[in-house]
Structure 1
Amino acid sequence: MNIGYAWGLNWVVLVVIIEMPFAHGRLIALPIYARLNPKSATPVKKKGKGSKRKKTSVAIMVDMLRTVAGWLPTSLFIFCGDGAYAGIAHLLPSNVKMVSRIRCDAALYAPPKKHRKKGKGRPSKKGKRLLSPEKKARRTAGWKLYNVVLYGERVRRLVQQYQVLVYY
């Protein structure tokens, strides 16, 4: 019996979503940047100086977002990604905002305070600890009602919006 292996190609694709005026509210995703992230037959175990570690799909997406944000530095971009991208918000340029799913037990922190030039020690990486998403969702304050389109149907949803640093 012969055994054969076929390693597929993994593409990391960044798209721009636009509304087509002639298509009555239909959206279309236009790919503007794609990079190949091939699967490796064996995982890279080399560490230390001079080793070349394979970039993850998340790291490749961060590079792509930085590049595209650099093309139009005065424009605002909104990146929508799944839970795998939830931890990259602090790596993105200031003109890129992110929408992502986070876990209910995620440790949320306020952004750090500005570091004084003459102070001792390294600057803070995170601010004060905030409530977990689960506890924050149980509070009645801070919710806003929005009209959104879900699966082609217009519905009303309560939404909370705030800027945090996420740690798992």
Structure 2
Amino acid sequence: MATEASELELVFTEDIQLTKCMRMRAVSLQHKNAKPQEGEKLLKSNEYIYRLDFTKQKLTFLWWKVHLKKPGKVVITGTSQHWTPDLTNLMNRQLLDPSAIFWKKTDDDEVQCNEADAQEFGERLCELAKIRKIMYFVLTFADGTEPGNVICSVGFKV
């Protein structure tokens, strides 16, 4: 019996606890006057950890929905890491290319993006969803955006 394919929209959710944990790591190194491990990614003040929880594993990428309440830019970078923040630190080599970059200019109503990179990144998410239930992302907010001003989701065909 054939079933009609349905759409699944997954909303990026800020992982407040993980962001806090990563910020504590940076502060701890600073207080100890210590250097991060070679290649370790320390969160900057405009970077936050978000996650997607994959409820389905076999997906086909359809679209991005990014809403910026005011002008600015958000960069979404995936990580290849199965996260255990108490045991492992985020390494630069675990950041996936390309990132999806979305921006809105002062006189624009629509959010713009580099469509080729966003498409490639969306397709990569489908590959990772086959082996993951959860995926983590570093969202970088710039040019006036901040977490409360951005809503991001990604759509898939199931």
Return the TM-score normalized by structure 2: 0.26
Q: Which has the higher contact order (CA 8 A, sep 6+)?
A: 2
Q: Larger strand proportion, structure 1 or 2?
A: 2
Return the TM-score normalized by structure 1: 0.25
Larger radius of gyration: 1
